[in-house]
């Protein structure tokens, strides 16, 4: 019996295989949590893409796959991996952007639909996926993509250039693949179109990894190659703390990492390292902590009683009242208005 395969399918197959290889590399190389998550993301995505290649091969060779039940279950398990891709993508961005990120068992709740669907895959019918399941899985990825984008938008300016470039590129690549796999365009791209795009993305990533000259590092621990000495770190920390206490730059809502670094005469990526390494928080969280402390002092001081909470929040450096309220309640377990009343 003749086995038929076309060039796009062959290209997609090698791309998916490379995805599995990359998954192993990221799991074994520099075993930090972000690499572990990215490894699982590549694994889940490669399994999902392999399902499309599998289906396309069956279309090319309708007489080859005769074990229908085995084939159907394999296909449904492949589709189920879409419910793992979204959470892993979101958690990868969270791990890369948050220096204090730690794995929490609570994150497993994000994967409940995935685990459940993998278990029941042998028992579901195509109608489940056809009339809602596929749409729900697609919107699951879309939701987590938006959450990842939100993290990047909020904290991208606080990270080093190499990480920022890598994450921005990842957002673009995933956006293109999502468009190709959207329920609206799938009729035109077919089972193999998105798989080819995935292969192109992986081959491009492989090329960048080979040509990487330190601008976009995939494997090294953050700041692992920095020449900043411990003495210099302590010096920058001392200079930063004195400046924050004396000048209160955090009251400026437009304060950025670059502006603060220029104010204390250090390089932005050096300041970022000191904040991340010494205080275990991002630049945004570091600044907001000062803003909250300043807000507490003013809420306790009777001379600020005439100010509305919105004005007080802006004076302390917050450019959004909802953000002020959310952060305040998260830290002090009460709202600013109740806190003020309790100090009377």
pLDDT score, position 66: 65
pLDDT tens digits, 296-305:
999 998 898 8
Residues 173, 275, single domain; the answer is no
* Same domain, yes or no: 250 and 103: no
The string of pLDDT tens digits covering residues 225-235 is 455 678 888 89
Q: Is residue 224 part of a domain?
A: no
Mean pLDDT value across residues 97-121: 88
In a domain, 225, yes or no: no
Most confident of 117-121, 177-181, 224-228: 117-121
Predicted pLDDT of residue 225: 46
Looking at the structure, tell me whether residues 36 and 124 fall in a common domain.
Answer: yes
CATH no. for residue 246? 1.10.10.60
Instruction: Let me know whether 76 and 201 are in one domain.
Output: yes
In-domain check, residue 320: yes
SS (H, E, C) the chain: CCCCCCHHHHHHHHHHHHHHHHHHHHHHCCCCHHHHHHHHHHHHHHHHHHHHHHHHHHHHCCCCCCCHHHHHHHHHHHHHCHHHHHHHHHHHHHHHHCCCCCCCHHHHHHHHHHHHHHHHHHHCCHHHHHHHHHHHHHHHHHHHHHHHHHHHHHHHHHCCHHHHHHHHHHHHHHHHHHHHCCCCCHHHHHHHHHHHHHHHHHHHHHHHHHHCCCCCCCCCCCCCCCCCCHHHHHHHHHHHHHHHHHHCHHHCCCCCHHHHHHHCCCCHHHHHHHHHHHHCCCHHHHHHHHHHHHHHHHHHCHHHCCCCHHHHHHHCCCCCHHHHHHHHHHHHCCCHHHHHHHCC
- Of 151, 184, 211, which one is at a domain's C-terminal end? 211
Confidence at 43, pLDDT banded by 50, 70, 90: very high
User: For the segment 242-261, what is each residue's pLDDT rounded down to a tens digit?
Assistant: 999 999 999 999 898 889 98
The mean per-residue pLDDT over the stretch 17-26 comes to: 88
Residues 184 and 322 in one domain: no
Report the pLDDT value the prediction gives residue 215, as an integer from 0 to 100: 47
pLDDT recorded at residue 133 = 87
Is residue 218 situated within a structural domain?
no
* Tally of domains in the chain: 2
Predicted pLDDT of residue 196: 84
Asked if residue 329 belongs to a domain, the reply is yes
My answer on whether 293 and 169 are in the same domain is no
**Statement: residue 135 has pLDDT above 90:** no
Domain that holds residue 301: 230-342
CATH of residue 131's domain is 1.20.1070.10
Report the pLDDT value the prediction gives residue 193, as an integer from 0 to 100. Answer: 78
* Overall pTM > 0.75: no
6 pLDDT band, cuts 50/70/90, is confident
Within-domain flag for 164: yes
Task: Provide mean pLDDT across the span 32-39.
Answer: 88
Task: Please tell me whether residues 249 and 148 are part of one structural domain.
Answer: no
Percentage of the residues of the chain whose pLDDT score is greater than 90? 33
Do the domain assignments include residue 222?
Answer: no
Question: What was the pLDDT predicted at 68?
Answer: 63
278 and 143, same domain (yes or no): no
Q: What is the mean pLDDT of residues 35-61?
A: 87
| 300 and 206 in a common domain | no
pLDDT tens digits along 61-102: 777 666 666 778 888 898 899 999 999 999 999 988 876 678
Shared domain check, 134 and 30:
yes
Do 16 and 97 reside in the same domain of the chain? yes
What's the confidence (pLDDT) of residue 154? 80
Q: Tell me: do 22 and 138 sit in the same domain.
A: yes
In a domain, residue 190? The reply is: yes
């Amino acid at each position: 019996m003749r086995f038929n395969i076309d060039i796009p399918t062959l290209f997609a197959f090698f791309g998916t295989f490379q995805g599995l290889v990359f998954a192993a590399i990221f799991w074994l190389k520099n075993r930090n949590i972000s690499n572990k998550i990215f490894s699982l993301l590549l694994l889940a995505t490669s399994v999902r893409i392999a399902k499309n290649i599998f289906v396309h091969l069956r279309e090319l060779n309708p007489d080859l796959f005769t074990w229908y039940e085995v084939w159907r279950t394999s296909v449904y398990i492949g589709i189920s991996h879409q419910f793992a891709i979204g959470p892993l993508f979101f958690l990868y961005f969270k791990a890369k952007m948050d220096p204090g990120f730690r794995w929490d068992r609570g994150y497993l709740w994000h994967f409940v639909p995935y685990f459940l669907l993998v278990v029941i895959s042998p028992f579901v019918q195509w109608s489940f996926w056809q009339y809602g399941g596929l749409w729900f899985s697609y919107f699951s990825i879309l939701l987590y993509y938006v959450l990842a984008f939100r993290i990047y938008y909020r904290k991208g300016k606080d990270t080093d250039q190499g990480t920022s470039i890598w994450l921005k590129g990842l957002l673009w690549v995933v956006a293109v693949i999502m468009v190709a796999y959207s329920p609206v365009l799938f009729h035109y791209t077919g089972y193999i179109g998105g798989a080819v795009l995935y292969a192109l993305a992986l081959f491009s990533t492989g090329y960048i990894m080979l040509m990487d000259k330190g601008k976009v590092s995939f494997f090294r621990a953050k700041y692992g190659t920095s020449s900043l000495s411990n003495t210099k770190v302590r010096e920058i920390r001392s200079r930063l703390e004195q400046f924050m206490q004396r000048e209160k730059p955090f009251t400026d809502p437009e304060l950025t990492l670059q502006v603060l670094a220029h104010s204390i005469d250090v390089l932005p990526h050096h300041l970022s390292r000191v904040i991340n390494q010494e205080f275990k928080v991002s630049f945004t969280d570091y600044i907001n902590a000062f803003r909250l402390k300043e807000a507490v002092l003013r809420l306790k001081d009777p001379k600020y009683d005439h100010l509305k909470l919105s004005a007080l929040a802006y004076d302390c450096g917050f450019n959004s009242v909802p953000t002020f309220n959310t952060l305040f309640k998260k830290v002090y377990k009460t709202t600013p208005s109740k806190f003020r009343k309790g100090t009377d």
